[in-house]
Copies of this chain bind each other. A is one copy, B any other.
Amino acid sequence: MAGAGRRPYNFSAGPAAMPEAVLQRAASEMLDWHGSGMSVMEMSHRGKEFGAICAQAEADLRTLLAVPEHFHILFMQGGGLGENAIVPMNLSRGGQVDFVITGSWSAKSQKEAQRYCQAHVAASNADSNHTQLPAPSTWQLSADASYVHICSNETIHGVEFQELPDLATLGSQAPLVIDFSSHVASRPVDWRRVGLAFGGAQKNLGPAGLTLVIVRDDLLGHALEICPSAFNYRIVADNQSMYNTPPTWGIYIAGLTFQWLLGQTEGGLTGVAAMEQRNLAKAGLLYDFIDASAFYENKVSPDCRSRMNVPFFLRDESRNDAFLAGAREAGLLQLKGHKSVGGMRASIYNAMPLEGVQALVAYMREFERSHA
């Protein structure tokens, strides 16, 4: 399946492809990390070896995302769906929260938050079938919201904020919460506009089971009484993410990924800025090809198309199975779209090289030629 000696290109939406260099390093260190005589999985989280791994991962992530000092970096468990409850338990104070619905994930967040607060829908793109972003100027923000929640990249619908909203200019004093699970580290973050960012690691950072939370200092300490201690941001922060045993392997793999990202260069840029250039090139190549084709279609408005998740359709959907089977033969894996949307989806995260997108476009062109 792997084609000419290479690994297949894996377009899974998550868990997703990882840098091959990270996998090779993890394999080589499996039985003995740096002469310790232990696998990272076997290390006490309280020991000096894992302490060093975790501190380095946090420091590297802070560098990579340019996280200001007044934000805490927390390594947690529970994934994005867990955070849908954990964020309002920590930040809502039982009051009103504004949600901007732009696809499946923000809709799930709003629904879950209703257990803990008044989860007000300030805007929604449901009438466009989640293919457009409602302009911030149209959002019906509350006067006294505890926070405003957006999903800055909708993995399923392929809709991305190309710029974070500046809530202050919209008349809201509330902190902005972003679910950035599926585009974290693919582009810079303007932390001046953010109060809290969370994401599951399994798209751009590492394995499933690690959840990243980056939270501004003043937002800690307001958890509801029913918030479990293990998910109370104040307690997690005070214990350097080791109140409960953290997902040590996930932190280790994410740390290797951070080091890989810090070493990437593109057009004189490094790290996330370099990745952004590559991601623009990859996404541009794929969207341009789809737009120029009468055989394929992407329905998302061009101003909010995701650089990470590209849902697309064959206009003749009777060819879907043949398309997927041929792709698999060509070493192009996991292209089937999410069941709620149908069609195809190519997730082209940081670990997907330009060559992978070129191979996908070449395959799509050939499939079109032979089936049109």
- Contact (Cβ within 8 A) A10 B23: no
- Contact (Cβ within 8 A) A333 B15: no
* Chain A 215-244: CB-based contact to B (< 8 A → 1; otherwise 0): 000000000011011110000000000011
**Is A245 close to B, CB under 8 A?**
yes
* Chain A 256-290: CB-based contact to B (< 8 A → 1; otherwise 0): 00000000000000000000000000000000000
A38 and B20 in contact, given A44-B15, A249-B207, A250-B209 (Cβ under 8 angstroms) = no
Residues of B within 8 A of A45 (CB): 15, 208
- Contact (Cβ within 8 A) B77 A209: yes
- Contact (Cβ within 8 A) A44 B14: yes
Q: How far is the CA of A244 from the CA of B331 in the complex (A)?
A: 28
Residues of B within 8 A of A30 (CB): 23-24, 26-27, 30
- Contact (Cβ within 8 A) A208 B245: yes
**Is A334 close to B, CB under 8 A?**
yes
A249 and B208 in contact, given A78-B244, A81-B244 (Cβ under 8 angstroms) = yes
- Contact (Cβ within 8 A) B41 A229: no
Residues of B within 8 A of A202 (CB): 245, 248
Residues of B within 8 A of A12 (CB): 42-44, 47
A18 and B42 in contact, given A37-B7, A230-B82 (Cβ under 8 angstroms) = yes
Which of B1, B246, B331 sits near A208, CB closer than 8 Å?
B246
**Is A13 close to B, CB under 8 A?**
yes
Complex copy number for this chain: 2
Please report which residues of chain A, range 2-56, place their CB below 8 angstroms from some CB of chain B when the two chains form the complex: 2, 7-8, 10, 12-18, 20, 23-24, 26-28, 30-32, 35, 37-39, 41-45, 47
Which of B1, B10, B209, B245 sits near A42, CB closer than 8 Å?
B10
Q: How far is the CA of A44 from the CA of B35 in the complex (A)?
A: 33
**Is A158 close to B, CB under 8 A?**
no
- Contact (Cβ within 8 A) A82 B77: yes
Q: How far is the CA of A200 from the CA of B32 in the complex (A)?
A: 23
Residues of B within 8 A of A112 (CB): 228-229
Which of B35, B81, B331, B334 sits near A47, CB closer than 8 Å?
B334
Residues of B within 8 A of A247 (CB): 77, 207-209, 247, 250
Interface SS of chain A: helix, strand, loop or mixed? loop
Give the shortest distance, in Å, between A64 (CB) and chain B (any CB).
20
**Is A348 close to B, CB under 8 A?**
no
Residues of B within 8 A of A206 (CB): 41
Q: Which residue of B lies closest to A28 (CB)?
A: B27
Residues of B within 8 A of A38 (CB): 8, 10, 17, 333
- Contact (Cβ within 8 A) B209 A243: no
- Contact (Cβ within 8 A) B44 A334: yes
Which of B23, B41, B89, B231 sits near A18, CB closer than 8 Å?
B41
A-B complex: 8 closest residue pairs judged by Cβ atoms: A209-B247, A85-B228, A8-B37, A27-B30, A81-B244, A77-B77, A209-B209, A82-B230
Interface residues of A (CB under 8 A from B): 1-2, 7-8, 10, 12-18, 20, 23-24, 26-28, 30-32, 35, 37-39, 41-45, 47, 77-82, 84-86, 89, 112, 115-116, 200, 202, 206-210, 225-226, 228-231, 243-250, 253, 331, 333-334
Q: List 11 A-B contacts (CB under 8 A).
A: A15-B245, A77-B209, A78-B231, A78-B244, A79-B230, A85-B229, A207-B249, A208-B245, A208-B248, A247-B247, A249-B250
